[in-house]
Amino acid sequence: MNGWIILDKPLGLGSTQAVGAVKRVCREAGVGKVKVGHGGTLDPLATGVLPIALGEATKLCGRMLDASKIYDFTVAFGTETAGLDAEGEVVATSDMRPTLAELEAVLPRFTGPIEQVPPAFSAIKIDGERAYDRARKGEAVEMKARSVTIHALDVHEASAGSLDSATLSAHVSKGTYIRSLARDIAHAAGTVGHVTMLRRTKAGPFDLSQAISLDKLNAFGQGAAQSEIILPLEAGLVDIPALNLSPEAAGAIRQGRVWTGGCTDDGLYWGRDSEMRPVALIEALAGTLKVVRGFNL
């Protein structure tokens, strides 16, 4: 049992709970104990693409965490909350409502490399304790700015005239907080705001077209075909070129040895054997092939 379940995570379900649901369904399906991990936390108040790795695919969770993500999110203008989302007390209000033109005019400020202050209600650790635990206890939480990259940002949907809300789409780097982005966009537009809808539409190579519902996941435990639920391990490697290995090279790589005599450009590859099975993530450098991460398939 090695591969990916791409869950269209429903509202109210945490990422850890989603992993637990996959473990439960695998037990119900009779596949035995399976190592499970997720490729990027998604808040309970968010929905959308949550890659869940099974077996050897869990070795790629780190790459998935580092991958860029795409989100659709709705900002309600005029009210800012403590959590910068639909939960939490109101901490600021404004009668100002931006027009579409005013909103679009500030978006270039948030495209490219930016500095961003994460929300106080976040999982970032401060002196060994989660920021949201400190915030819930009423402590003043000072969050340090961090560098992130917004690859693309545009208005997805908005009405005419003064805007009570607008839906935007953002393609962002690892570590970006959409709630903070919404807060800062609202401030730049001369008002305050908070996120009322957050949906991840893409995480690394995976998008909504590959995602399954919780009901379909549960069907796996009731006998649905594995092929309808689980994507192969290599589905998480489509953004890396494949490298066909000779039987001798595949054998050496499986043993963790450096293989010399490889004729390919320098860079990162995933090596596959003559049966098209993934063998390892490989770094090619000056005619040698070195294992970055091996797969036991």
Residues that are catalytic: 43
Q: In the chain, helix, strand, coil percent, each to 5?
A: 25, 35, 35
For residue 225, give the 3-state DSSP assignment: coil
102 close to 189: Cβ distance less than 8 angstroms: yes
Cross-strand partners of 147: 115
Cross-strand partners of 278: 272
Distance between CA atoms of residues 51 and 56, nearest Å: 14
64 close to 204: Cβ distance less than 8 angstroms: yes
Nearest to 119 by CA among 194, 170, 198: 194
φ, ψ for residue 212, nearest 5 deg = -115, 155
For residue 273, give the 3-state DSSP assignment: coil
Distance between CA atoms of residues 101 and 230, nearest Å: 44
- Find the helix or strand (DSSP H, E) in which 196 lies: strand 193-203
